[in-house]
Structure 1
Amino acid sequence: MDKLSILGLVVALGAIAIGYSLEGGVVSALFNGPALIIVLGGTIGAVMLQTSASTFKKMLNMSSWVFVAPHYDIDEAIEQVKRWSHKARQEGYLALENEALTHSDAYAAKGLSLLIDGCSEQKLRDTLEIDLLLERDRLLEAARVYEAMGGYSPTIGILGAVLGLIQAMSFITDPQMLGAGVATAFIATIYGVGLANLLFLPMANKLKQRVEQKMLYHEMLAEGVIAISVGESPMNIELKLEAYRVERPNLVDV
C-alpha cells in the first residue's frame, strides 16, 4: 500500500475543506450530485471517444497501481538470475525449461525461452529490447488517459457551470433562488478543476513512475539473461546487476 499517495489525497482534500470552513463556508454545500454527474460523466465520455477499448481497459487495470504499488524484489531477482546461471553452467540451457514454463513474469519467461532456443547474444538483446520498448509504450499510453481526463475535466466543469447558470436564470424574478442557483452552478467548475489537479493529473504522473519502475526491473532481468547467454559467471552477473540495487527504494514499496 502506497501510504504517501493516500496521505497526499487526504491532505489535499482536507486542506480545501478546512480552508473553506475557516472562511465561513459549509463543506456540505460543496456536494452537488448533478454537477458531479456532468463533470465526471462528460470527462469519462470524452476520453472513451478518443481512446481504444484495449487502452481504456488497461488504464482501468492500472488504476490500482496508484495506491497499491507493484512489488519488485530486486535482491530476490538477482539471486534468481544467479541460480539460473549456476544451473545453465552445470546442466545446460535445457535445465531452465521448467523455469521458462512456470515463471510468473511473462517477460522473464520469454527471455529464458529464447535462451533455451539458442538465440545469439545480439538477437536475444534485440528481441528483449523491442519487447521492453513496446511494453513501455503500451503502459504509458494507458497512463496518458488520465492526463487526457485532466485536460478535459476543467472545460467540462465550465460547461456544467454554464448549464447551471441557464437553469438559475429561470429564477430571475426570485433573488433568493437566483443566488442559490448561481452558487450551485459554480460548483461544477470546482469539480472540474479539482478533479483535474487533485486526482487525474497526479494519478497520471504516479502511473508513469510505476511504469518506469517496472521497465527498470525488466531491464535488469534482460541484462541477467543476456549475461547468462554469453557464459558469464554468477559472481560477475551479480556485480553487473548490483547497480540496479541503487534504485531499490523506488522499485520496492516500503
Structure 2
Amino acid sequence: MAEAAGERGENRLEADAFTRRGETPVRISPRQGGIDFATLIGLFGAFALILGAILLEGKSTAFINIPFVNLPAIMLVVFGTFAVTMVSYSVQEVFQAQPIMLRTLFRSGQSPNDAAMRMLQLAERARRRGILQLQSELYGLRPEPFLHRSMTMLVDGIAVEEIERNLTFETHAMMQRHVRSAGILRRAAEVAPAMGLIGTLVGLVQMLGSLNDPESIGPAMAVALLTTLYGALLANVVFLPLASKLERNSATELLINQIYILGSTSIGRQENPRRLELVLNTILPASQRVKYFD
C-alpha cells in the first residue's frame, strides 16, 4: 500500500512538472489483444468450402459439360488454398504482397549493366560540372524512384553517410517485403496439393457411398480426380514458378540498388569515376561488366 501510494505521488509530481513546462506527458496505453481476422476468415472459409463440396456431390456440374472442368473441385482447391494461406499470414500481408506478385508477370527493362552505365554517366557529369548541376538530371530519373531519391538527397546537400544509411535501410525493407511475398507463394504451393487431396477424399467417400446408384459414381469420381489435378497444377505450374521468378527479380533489384548506393556515395565523396567503374565491376557478373572509360 505504501509503495503504491509513493508511486502515485511520484506520478503526480511528474505530471505537475510537465504542466508547469506547458508540455503533455507521453502516455502509452496498455497493450490490448485483438481478433486476428485472417485466421478466422481462413479457417471458416476453408471448412465452408469443404462442406460445400460435400453437400454439392457433383450436382453443380449438370450445366457444365466441359471436360476437366468441375466447379466444386475448382472452388475447393483455388479458394481453399487462398483461405488456408491466410491462416499463416495476416490480411494486410496477403494484400500487400499482391502488387509484388503481379510485377513478376512483367519483365523489367532495367538491367544491372544499364544501371552501372547510367551511374557512371552521372558520376562523370557531377565530376565535370559539380553535384548541384545534377538537379537538371532529376526529371529524367523519375522512372527509377530509388535512383531519383538518392540523387535528390545529394543535390539537397545531405551527408554521404546519412544517404548511404537511408538507402541501405530502404533496400533491407524492400528485401523483407519480397521474401515475405515469396514465402506466401511457397506456402500456397504447399497448401494446394493438400486441398486437392482433401477433395479426392471427399470424392471417394461420395463415390463409395453411392455404389448402388451408377449415375452418381461419375460426378463423384470427377471431383476425386480433378481436385488432385488442380492442386498439382496450381502448386507446380503457378505458385512455385512465380516464387522462383520473384526471388530472381528480387536478387536483380538488390544488385541494382547496390549499384545506385555505391554510385551515390562515390559522387557525394567526389571520387574519380574511374574508381567507381572498378568498384562496380567487382559486384557485377562477368558477362555484364562495364567498360565506360577507355
The TM-score range, normalised by the shorter chain, is 0.7 to 0.9
AA of the residue aligned to 2:72:
P
Shift of 1:31: 3.5
The structure-2 alpha-carbon separation of the partners of 1:107 and 1:156, relative to structure 1 and needing over 3 Å to count, comes to: same
Structure number with higher helix proportion:
1
**Match runs of 1:46-61 below 5 Å:** 46-61=84-99
Shift of 1:146: 0.9
AA of the residue aligned to 2:197:
I
Residue 156 (structure 1) aligned with residue 195 (structure 2): yes
AA of the residue aligned to 2:184:
V
State the TM-score, normalizing by the size of structure 2.
0.66
Shift of 1:234: 2.0
The structure-2 alpha-carbon separation of the partners of 1:76 and 1:206, relative to structure 1 and needing over 3 Å to count, comes to: closer
Residue 194 (structure 1) aligned with residue 203 (structure 2): no
Stretch of structure 1 that moved more, 215-224 or 79-88: 79-88
AA of the residue aligned to 2:164:
R
Shift of 1:50: 4.2
Residue 111 (structure 1) aligned with residue 150 (structure 2): yes
Residue 224 (structure 1) aligned with residue 263 (structure 2): yes
Shift of 1:219: 0.8
Deviations 1:151-180, CA, capped at 9 Å, x for gaps = 111221122223323433452313564366
Deviations 1:30-73, CA, capped at 9 Å, x for gaps = 43332122101111223345444554344333344444322223
AA of the residue aligned to 1:231:
Q
**Percent identity of equivalent pairs:** 23
**Match runs of 1:61-76 below 5 Å:** 61-76=99-114
What is the aligned counterpart of 2:244 among 173, 182, 205? 205
**Match runs of 1:1-254 below 5 Å:** 29-103=67-141, 104-175=143-214, 177-178=216-217, 181-246=220-285
Contact 2:126–2:134, Cα closer than 8 Å, also in 1: yes
Q: Which residue of the partner structure matches residue 23 of structure 1?
A: none
Q: How many residues align?
A: 222
AA of the residue aligned to 1:193:
A
Secondary structure, counterpart of 1:119 in structure 2: coil
Structure 2 distance, partners of 1:162, 1:70, is 43
Structure 1 distance, partners of 2:73, 2:201, is 11
Secondary structure, counterpart of 1:171 in structure 2: coil
Shift of 1:244: 4.5
Deviating above 6 A after TM superposition, structure 1's stretches of 4 or more consecutive aligned residues are none
Q: Which has the larger radius of gyration?
A: 2
State the TM-score, normalizing by the size of structure 1.
0.75
Structure 1 distance, partners of 2:79, 2:131, is 54
For structure 1, the residue ranges without an aligned partner over 5 or more in a row are 1-27, 250-254
Structure 2 distance, partners of 1:243, 1:81, is 15
The structure-2 alpha-carbon separation of the partners of 1:94 and 1:129, relative to structure 1 and needing over 3 Å to count, comes to: same
Structure 1 distance, partners of 2:186, 2:118, is 37
The structure-2 alpha-carbon separation of the partners of 1:76 and 1:182, relative to structure 1 and needing over 3 Å to count, comes to: closer
